[in-house]
Structure 1
Amino acid sequence: MACRVSFLKTLLIILNVLLSLIGVTLIALSVYELNSSTPGTFEHIAIVIQIFVGSFVILTSFLGCFATARVSLGLVWTYVICLLILLCLQIYIIAAAHSTNYVERSRSEFLALWSDPRTNVERLSLIEQKYSCCGQVGAHDYILLGRGIPTNCYRNFDRQQDNLFTEGCLAAVQAHANDNVAIGLVIKWLLLVVEFAALGAATHLGITVRNKLRRERF
């Protein structure tokens, strides 16, 4: 019995450390993306949700470590409930991620901006500097519009031909969205697996401790 409890405690601590690391990674990536996302867009909302999930994961992992160290039955079951909430949320997020075409959304959002480049000049400038791109398909798009190529189409805003971004922003935005989807799904599935493992270990620990207390009582 003592060996089983010790094993479960060690396993839970390891799993909770993993959970906290994944949560920190999720928040760090989300904050990085948040700084360059446009408020009100679908991408911005998704990033905010990811930050919330990452924060909840970290808090839950801290609770798990504390419950494991104390071997408190009440704390263990509270931790199990938090994990169940996380799992439900995580399953919903993964299902939504698989059913949502983020690449198409990013394409539509960029085309909406490019439809009125004069009004959206600041947002387009941010995109061009962030993704090192220029125009919709390339720098010549500005020439077709009867405008000069803006400085934000150049690396470090230096108007040298060698510094001109040659890639179009439409392709760059879609490629970035595709990469984000791939990385996001890997993190989400990894988090789901660790949460399931932690749930199993915590439930087993809770049952073991409960049975031990019952035997001691009688």
Structure 2
Amino acid sequence: MTATTAAGRRGLMPSLVRWHVGLGELGLRLFLLHLLWILGVLAGGAVLGLFPATAAVHSVLRADLVDAARERDGSAPLRRDRLWASFWSAWRSEFGRSQWLGALLVAGWALLLVDRLVVRAGIGEVTGFASGVLVVLTVLWALVSVVVWPLSAHFTDPLPRLLRMTMVLMAARIPLTLSIAAVLAATLWLWGTLPGLLPVVGILPTCWLVSLLCWRSGALPAPSDPDRTARS
């Protein structure tokens, strides 16, 4: 073994250790955040708690991504705020706004459901064409329903503008949209193949991956402070 090889292996080991430790910390943080998400949903009586809990999760994930980016560029040390306090602070502050956002998303899904019922009652060739269009719209709305939450955690724009931003982002960054679609497809496949994963990890891995993809794509500009920013 040469001195260069030995030095390379010595340099590789600390990197592997840091990678494994970081992966373990991430897994634990996502698991704890999943438990907090469940508590957040229950705190609102399930129906009123679903959207604030989801908004709070994305707020915490955004803060983690901002802190990690600052640590990488050396502008600030890695900061890990107390998970419990961060989650419930976001839950309370996002309660009203997240309800409106959730209502818009639910209205879209309700409209698609009504359209599907109408299409199923159709007759002739129009039904096949309309069914194809409805499938495309359903996939697009599913993507919007997922992507809008990281953007909502990052920007304070009014909800109609936020939805427009989401649609423009998806249309302008096709690789990002396809990547998120692949994440959703993999999530559905895993839930169908290993249903026991759902109560253990819930939606947190998917939320984290979507937030990470949006952040790495450059679609979310780094703010000058950890609070959310309004898009100019």
TM-score interval (norm. to shorter): under 0.3
**Structure 1 length-normalised TM:** 0.26
TM-score (norm 2): 0.25
Rg: which structure is higher? 1
**Higher relative contact order (CA closer than 8 Å, sequence separation 6+):** 1
